[in-house]
Amino acid sequence: MRGTLVSVSAVRVSADLGVAKVYLSIFPPEKGQELIEAIEYNNRTIRYDLGQRVRMQLRKIPELSFFLDDSLDYVEHIDQLLKK
């Protein structure tokens, strides 16, 4: 999507490297849910590309689950409450 900034804020991998939870920070936040759906739709392609890049370092490529990271919105909300 043009005009959208996406950054990976955190990745949590299970102990057996079977599942990776990827938290994405998206700006502007209004497009967040739409972009998460588009990324989930392309999940297999993203996992394949990841496998091509790290195939010599990892034995098993984890299943990817994408989540919207709203921690910045939460921090801003707390900041506004403290200012009141």
Instruction: Categorize the per-residue pLDDT at 38 as very low, low, confident or very high, splitting at 50, 70 and 90.
Output: very high
- Give residue 13's pLDDT: 94
Residue with tokens 């921090």: 75
Calpha distance 34→51 (Å, rounded): 25
Per-residue pLDDT at 27: 85
- Per the CB < 8 A criterion, the answer to whether 12 and 20 are in contact is yes
Sequence letter at residue 18: G
Which H helix or E strand runs over 33? Answer: helix 32-41
Task: Report the mean per-residue pLDDT for the chain.
Answer: 90
- Local confidence band at 49 (pLDDT 50, 70, 90 cut-offs): very high
